[in-house]
Amino acid sequence: MIAFLGMGHLGANFVKAMLAKGQQVNVWNRTAAKAAVLEADGAKAFADVAEAVKGATHIHLTLKDDAAVDDVLGQASAGFAPGAIILDHTTTSTAGAKHRADYWRSKGFAYLHAPVFMGPQNALESTGMMLVSGDQQLIGEVTPRLAEMTGKVVNFGDDATKAAGLKLIGNLLLIAMTGGLSDALSLAGATGVTVEDMAKLFETFNPGNTLQARLKKMTSDTFDQPTWELNMARKDAGLMMNEVSGEPPMVVVPAVAAVMDKCIANGLGSKDWTIIAKDSL
């Protein structure tokens, strides 16, 4: 039997998919009504989290943050069955993931941090990507179960913090991309470009396809072989900011331009523009 704690959009759809596969699932949520509504799909809802986990061999969590995970697990632990496995899909800190793996092991329970790159619809359809790292014996045992939830489970090795770190990196890029699109929309508005024009451009020009090559360039120390000189990139950033003189303001480009200015002041203007990342390497 499975217990699932945290019935937000992601958790609720994970549960619906499990129920559709014929699994027995106990559910709990701080707002009890969000758990109770899933009884119509076949789940068994509990107001007491310790009661929800009683008899469960696997306990899944999709909660807000480290504090919520620690609090809920602390309350639930009174009901843990011997040998229960905790599978935490919450986006958390790396330190929190390691602490929980060590702490619950010391209490006789297995804990695995398994964050996901999935939206609610992915959870319902069991499609997407799940990251794991840590105890390889445990990962080998639970991977078939996790693969049923997401279709793709990627194992990053023994370090219990690695999955948490990579989940944050992935989310960082999503945030940066959204910030970049916000700037692009500001620039489009200032230059008379429509959203339809942008969509047409992105049918053939996909900046995301350059991600692997850009990472390689930024980490290979080949800044003396520029494909786009820093001086020229900064010139273009200036053109963008000059076009967008009113509202809404740009979010990302001004911050990047400030880093470019610092590098140029240090005599790096003729280098490849990706040298702006050198201080991070």
Q: Is residue 27 part of a domain?
A: yes
- Looking at the fold, whether 146 and 220 belong to one and the same domain comes out as no
**DSSP assignment, residue 278?**
G
What integer is the mean pLDDT of 23-43? 97
What's residue 163's pLDDT? Answer: 98
Q: Are residues 261 and 131 in the same domain?
A: no
On whether residue 67 sits in a domain, the answer given is: yes
Q: Which of 106, 139, 160 is the last residue of a domain?
A: 160
pLDDT at 20: 97
Q: What is the pLDDT of residue 280?
A: 53
Q: Is residue 174 part of a domain?
A: no
How buried is residue 120: exposed, middle or buried, by Cβ count under 10 Å (0-12/13-18/19+)? middle
Q: Which of 160, 185, 215 is the last residue of a domain?
A: 160
The pTM of this model reads: 0.93
- Kindly provide the b/e burial profile for residues 77-100, where b requires at least 16 CB atoms within 10 angstroms of the residue's own CB: bebbeeebbbbbbbbbebebbbbb
Q: Is residue 176 part of a domain?
A: no
d(CA 87, CA 84) in angstroms, rounded, equals 10
Tell me, yes or no, whether 167 lies in a domain: no
Q: Look over the chain and give the mean of its residue pLDDT values, rounded to a whole number.
A: 95
- Same domain flag for 149 and 22: yes
- The pLDDT of 51-58, averaged and rounded, is 98
Residue 181 domain flag: no
128 within a domain of the structure (yes/no): yes
Q: Are residues 7 and 142 part of one domain?
A: yes
Give residue-wise pLDDT tens across range 224-267: 999 999 999 999 999 999 999 877 789 999 999 999 999 999 99
Tell me if 113 sits within 8 A of 100, measured CB to CB.
Answer: yes
Residue 130 tokens read as 């799940």
pLDDT at 281: 42
Q: Tell whether 18 and 145 lie within a shared domain.
A: yes
Longest dimension (CA), the chain: 66
- Residues 240, 183 contacting (CB under 8 angstroms): yes
**pLDDT tens-digit series, residues 160-200:** 999 999 999 999 999 999 999 999 999 999 999 999 999 99
| Integer Cα distance of 246 and 190 in angstroms | 8
Let me know if residue 173 belongs to a domain: no
Structurally, the chain folds into a number of domains equal to 2
> For the residues 104-119, what does the mean pLDDT come to?
97
Q: What is the DSSP string of 163-201?
A: HHHHHHHHHHHHHHHHHHHHHHHHHHHHHT--HHHHHHH
- Can you read off the two tokens belonging to residue 35? 């758990």
8 plus 95 within the same structural domain: yes
pLDDT at residue 278, as a whole number: 82
Q: What does the alpha-carbon distance between residue 239 and residue 267 come to, in Å, rounded to a whole number?
A: 22
Q: Does 109 lie in the same domain as 209? A: no
Give 3's strand partners. Answer: 26, 59
Do 19 and 87 belong together in one domain?
yes
Q: What is the CATH number of the domain that holds 102?
A: 3.40.50.720
Strand partners, 111: 86
pLDDT band per the 50, 70, 90 thresholds, residue 279: low
- Whether 56 and 111 map to the same domain: the answer is yes
CA gyration radius, the chain: 23
* Residue entry with tokens 């939206």: 119
The pLDDT tens digits of the residues spanning 126-162 come to 999 999 999 999 999 999 999 999 989 999 999 999 9
Range of the domain at 70: 2-160
- Residues 119, 55, single domain; the answer is yes
CATH of the domain at 228: 1.10.1040.10
pLDDT, tens digit, for every residue of 205-214? 999 899 999 8
Task: State the helix-helix crossing angle for 230-243 and 253-265, rounded to 10 degrees.
Answer: 140
